[in-house]
Structure 1
Amino acid sequence: MRPRIRGGRTTVLAALLSLALAAPIAAAQAQESPPTGPAPGAARDAELPHQYEVKGPATPTERTALTATGVSIDEVHARAVVITATRAQAAVVRQLGYTLRLLPDPPGATTASPKPRVKDFPAGYTNYHTYDEATKEIDALVAKYPAILSKQVIGTSHEGRNILALKLSKNVTKDEQEPEVLFTAHQHAREHLTVEMALYLLNEFTSKYGSDDRITKMLDSREIWIIPDLNPDGGEYDIASGRFRSWRKNRQPNAGTSQVGTDLNRNWDFKWGCCNGSSDDPGDETYRGPSAASAPEVQVVSKFVHSRNIGGKQQIKTAIDFHTYSELVLWPFGFTNDETGPGMTQDDHDTFATIGKNMAASNGYTPEQSSELYITDGAIDDWLWGDQKIFAYTFEMYPSSAGSGGFYPRDTVIPKETARNKDAVLKLLEISDCVYRSIGKEQEYCKEG
C-alpha cells in the first residue's frame, strides 16, 4: 500500500531508541523471533521488518504521529492500523502508548527447507514471475502477436536491468492520432502481484483481440502502453535469498550512509518533499531520495512520458499505477487534503472521482482521494496529473488485509485477482477519448478543433 508518511525520524527519536529502549527491544526480539531455524541469509534478514497491528489510531492526525517513528502504514481500519516496522521502530511505537500485535510473516518469509531455491519465489509462490521469466513471456508474446504488440527498452534500472514499455494497438508500428493510456506496475519491490497484473493485461489484450468485442474496439481506437516493472532490482532482491525480505525501495545506494534504496513512489518531480508526505531519512521505507527524480527508474519513466508529449499536446490521457495491497482506487491529490489544487478545477476533481467510483464499482475496491488517509508527496499519480494533466489513478490490489496474505498472497490467487480488474481497465480505456463525458460535459471540453 502507499503509506502516507509525515517526515523522517529525528535525532532525539534515534537517541530515545538506542538508549532508553534497549531493554524493550531485546525483550521484543526474544518474544518475536521467527519460528523456524536459520536459513540462507538469516543473519542479514534478522534485521528485516515485520508487520504489526497497532490498536488505537483512528484519525489522520494520530496516524500521522505514528509515522514519525519511521514505520510505514500498510493498512487502515476504523481504530487500528497495520504497520511495517523493524523491532526497534516497534519499540518506539509502544513508547507512544500503543499496543502492538506481531502478525505472522508470510509463509515464504521463512523456509522449512534447508535448501530454498535462491533467486526464485518460495514454494507456494512459484507461479509468480521472476524478472527473467517475465521478460521471456513478454518476448514470446511480441513474437506471437507482432501486428498488435511491440516492445521498447526505454532505459535501465540502477543495476542495469532493462525497463520495458509495451505498446498495444491495431497498427502498432504507427504513431496514430488516438488516445493513449498508460499502465505501470511494481514501483514497490514486494508488490509482486502487480507484475502479474501487467502480464495479465498483455496476455488478455493479445489473445482476445478479434474475439472480445470490447478489447478489439479498444485496440482499434487506442494506443495502450504497459510498463510492467518499474523496480526490477528491488523485486529481484526481495526474493534473492530464496525467501521474502519485505523489501520496498529500489537498490540505489545512498551516499554517506550504509542505507540502500529510494521509495520510487515518493521521488517523482511534482511537489517532491513539499508537504511532510515522505521521509528524509535514508533508512525509512518512504525515503524520498536526495532530490526529485534522483532514482534512475523514475528518470526513465519520466522521460518516456514526456516523449509522448508531441507538439505541446500530451497523447497519454489516462493511467493506472498498480500497487498492493488494500483494494483501493485512489486519485490525486495526495499532497493536500483539498479537493482541488494547482491546475485542478472542480470539474477535473469531479471527473476523477466519477471515473474512480465507476471503476471501483466494477472491481469491488474502495474509491477515495489519495489524501483521505494521510498525506503523500512525490507520488506518480500526482506527478502524471500535475506535470502532464494525465488523469492518473492508483489501484491498490488484493488482498484487503494482512490476514489474507498482505504483500505476499499465494500464487493461487493470481488468475482471479488479475482478471478482477479487467472490466475496470476497460472502463478507463473506453472513457479515455473524453474523460469529461463521465460528468456530462463532453460538449464543453471535448469538441474537435
Structure 2
Amino acid sequence: MRPRPRGARTTVLAAAFALALAAPLAAQAQGTPPAGPADGTGRPHQYEVTGLATPSDRSALAATGASVDEVHGRATVVTADRGQLALVRALGHPVRRLPDPPAYAATAAPGVKGFPPGYTKYHTYEQATQEINALVAAYPSILTKTVIGKSHEGRDIVALKLSRNAAKDEAEPEVLFTAHQHAREHLTVEMSLYLLKELTSKYGSDPRITKLLDSREIWIIPDLNPDGGAYDIASGQFRSWRKNRQPNSGSGSVGTDLNRNWEFKWGCCGGSSGSPSSETYRGPSAASSPEVQVVAKFVRGRVVGGRQQITAAIDFHTYSELVMWPFGFTDDPTGPGMTQDDHDAFAAVGRKMAASNGYTPEQSSELYITDGAIDDWLWGDQKIFAYTFEMYPTSAGAGGFYPKDTVIPRETARNREAVLQLLENADCMYRSIGKEGQYCKAE
C-alpha cells in the first residue's frame, strides 16, 4: 500500500466542501443556475485535471460532485457539468476539456431509438431480455430466471441462476455477478450475457466449467439500472447518463448514483455528493433507490439458517481496467470488520485475477474515497468477498464509456479466466493465503 497523508486529506476535503457550498449560493445570488449541462446537448463533458499526485488530491476532486473516470499518474479525467466544472477549477489545478468521443457524434437512423451505428451489437434492455429468455428455454435444467423486483420505471430486474440443478436450492457455495449500475456502462451488460452463454454452452463439454456448475450456485443480475441504460440511448445518440431515473423531490435534477446509495457507510466520508445535480449524488437516504432495495433484499434473502450462502461477488463497471476490493470509504488497509487475514485473502485473489486479465489490482481507496458502494456493503454488511472490475478501455481516448461494438467479444472473454478463478476460490477464499484449515470447515 502507498502511504497516505491522512491529515492532508481532511484539510483538502474540507476546503472542497466549502467550495461546494459557496459556489451554488454565489450562482443563485447572480441569478444563474448552479449546475446543469455544459452545453445544449444535455450532456456533461470530460475534463483532464493535472497535478493530482495522491489519493487525497483525487478525493478532493471527487468531492466536487464530478465523477472520476480514470487516473494516470498525476492526471485524472472527470465527467462534470457546468456547476461541477466551476468547483473543479476552484481547486487550482490545470483543467483541459477533452474532445468529445466519436460516439457522441454517432446517431441512429431517423426514427430509430437505440444504439447508433458502430454500437448496434450492444443489446438494448429488450434485446437482452429476449436473449436471456432464449437461453433459459434452451438450458432449463441448468439456468433459471427469477424477477426479483422492479426498477423505478417498472422494468424487471432479474436474477439468473446457473447450477447443475438450478431449480433446487442446494448446500453449495454461491457467487454473485452484477452489472450496469451506471447507465452509460453498456459493456457490462455484454459481460453478463457472455457469462450466461459461456457457462451454459460449455457445460458438459468443458471439464472445468462442468465441475464448477456441479459444485456452485452462480447468480447473475445482468442489469441493475435498466431505466438509466434505456434513457442513455433513447434519442439514438449517447447522453453520457450515469444515474438511475428516479426524480429528486424539490429539484429539477433526476437520478441517484446507485453505487453511492448502498447502506453500509452511506454518505459517511466525503466519498459521494449530497447535491441532486451531482454525477455522484448518493440519494436522500441510504438505499432510497428502488433498484438498490431490490438487489439488497435479494442478497439478504440468500441467508439460510443464519448463514450467508453467497461467498464471493464481482460488480462489473467501465472503464480503466482495474480489479478493486474493499474498502473504498477508508484508506485503512483493513478498516472496521476486516481483519488482516481478510484483507490478505482479498488481495491475493484480486491480484491473481488481475494477472489473468491484465488489469491493475488495488484497494478501492487507492484511487480516491468513495462511500455507499456495493462492494463495501457486500463485505461490510454481509461478509461477502466482493470485487469491482472496471473493464476496457484504459482511457477516454480509447473509447471511454463507449468503445465500439467490435471489442465486445474480446473484452468480455478477457475476463473468463478471472471469473473461473473466483468461482474456484468461492468455497474457501482463505485458501489463497494458506489458511484453509483455520477458516474453512472440511466437507
TM-score relative to the length of structure 2? 0.92
The amino acid across from 1:14 in the alignment is P
Aligned residue among 10, 15, 28 for 2:20: 10
- Specify the alignment match of 2:91 in structure 1: 96
State the 1:69 CA deviation: 2.8
State the 1:214 CA deviation: 1.0
State the 1:60 CA deviation: 2.0
Counterpart secondary structure, 2:311: strand
- Specify the alignment match of 2:59 in structure 1: 64
Per-residue CA deviation, residues 82-117 of structure 1 (Å, 9 max, x unaligned), is 01012343244334333322222232323467x545
Aligned residue among 230, 243, 253 for 2:237: 243
Counterpart secondary structure, 1:10: helix
Aligned residue among 330, 342, 348 for 1:336: 330
Task: Give yes or no for the alignment of 1:371 onto 2:381.
Answer: no
Q: Which runs of 5+ in 2 are unaligned?
A: 1-8
In the superposition, relative to structure 1, how do residues 351 and 384 fare at CA in structure 2: closer, same or farther (>3 Å)? same
State the 1:62 CA deviation: 2.1
Per-residue CA deviation, residues 398-440 of structure 1 (Å, 9 max, x unaligned), is 0011111000000000000000000000000001111111100
State the 1:164 CA deviation: 0.4
State the 1:55 CA deviation: 1.8
The amino acid across from 2:353 in the alignment is M
- Specify the alignment match of 1:398 in structure 2: 392
* Higher mean displacement: 222-231 or 65-74: 65-74
Per-residue CA deviation, residues 1-54 of structure 1 (Å, 9 max, x unaligned), is xxx9968663312244567898xx9xx97xxx7xxxxxxxxx5xx242011111
User: Is the 2:107–2:117 contact (alpha carbons within 8 Å) kept by the matching residues of 1?
Assistant: no
- Specify the alignment match of 1:302 in structure 2: 296
User: Is the 1:119–1:236 contact (alpha carbons within 8 Å) kept by the matching residues of 2?
Assistant: no
In the superposition, relative to structure 1, how do residues 136 and 369 fare at CA in structure 2: closer, same or farther (>3 Å)? same
User: Is the 1:385–1:391 contact (alpha carbons within 8 Å) kept by the matching residues of 2?
Assistant: yes
- Specify the alignment match of 2:216 in structure 1: 222
Q: 1:16-35 to 2 correspondence within 5 Å?
A: 16-17=26-27
Once residues 167 and 197 of structure 1 are traced to their aligned partners in structure 2, the CA distance between those partners, rounded to angstroms, is 16
Q: 1:181-220 to 2 correspondence within 5 Å?
A: 181-220=175-214
Per-residue CA deviation, residues 283-337 of structure 1 (Å, 9 max, x unaligned), is 1011111111110000000010011001100110100000000000000011111
State the 1:248 CA deviation: 0.4
Q: 1:245-394 to 2 correspondence within 5 Å?
A: 245-394=239-388
Counterpart secondary structure, 1:357: helix
- Overall identity of the aligned pairs, in %: 72
- Specify the alignment match of 1:36 in structure 2: none
- Specify the alignment match of 2:140 in structure 1: 146
Counterpart secondary structure, 2:79: strand
Counterpart secondary structure, 2:418: helix
Aligned residues: 427
Aligned-residue CA RMSD (Å): 2.2
- Specify the alignment match of 2:130 in structure 1: 136
Counterpart secondary structure, 1:97: coil
User: Is the 1:184–1:227 contact (alpha carbons within 8 Å) kept by the matching residues of 2?
Assistant: yes
- Specify the alignment match of 1:48 in structure 2: 43
TM-score relative to the length of structure 1? 0.91
- Specify the alignment match of 1:441 in structure 2: 435
In the superposition, relative to structure 1, how do residues 175 and 129 fare at CA in structure 2: closer, same or farther (>3 Å)? same
State the 1:152 CA deviation: 0.2
User: Is the 1:13–1:69 contact (alpha carbons within 8 Å) kept by the matching residues of 2?
Assistant: no
User: Is the 1:317–1:432 contact (alpha carbons within 8 Å) kept by the matching residues of 2?
Assistant: yes
- Specify the alignment match of 1:40 in structure 2: none
Once residues 424 and 394 of structure 2 are traced to their aligned partners in structure 1, the CA distance between those partners, rounded to angstroms, is 27
Per-residue CA deviation, residues 346-390 of structure 1 (Å, 9 max, x unaligned), is 110100000000100000000000111111111100100111110
Task: Give yes or no for the alignment of 1:166 onto 2:160.
Answer: yes
In the superposition, relative to structure 1, how do residues 124 and 407 fare at CA in structure 2: closer, same or farther (>3 Å)? same
The amino acid across from 1:191 in the alignment is E
User: Is the 1:116–1:243 contact (alpha carbons within 8 Å) kept by the matching residues of 2?
Assistant: no
User: Is the 1:249–1:263 contact (alpha carbons within 8 Å) kept by the matching residues of 2?
Assistant: yes
Once residues 385 and 95 of structure 1 are traced to their aligned partners in structure 2, the CA distance between those partners, rounded to angstroms, is 36
Counterpart secondary structure, 2:182: coil
- Specify the alignment match of 2:5 in structure 1: none
User: Is the 1:189–1:231 contact (alpha carbons within 8 Å) kept by the matching residues of 2?
Assistant: yes
User: Is the 2:63–2:272 contact (alpha carbons within 8 Å) kept by the matching residues of 1?
Assistant: no
- Specify the alignment match of 2:100 in structure 1: 105
Per-residue CA deviation, residues 243-283 of structure 1 (Å, 9 max, x unaligned), is 00000000000111111101100111111111111111111
Q: Which runs of 5+ in 1 are unaligned?
A: 34-42
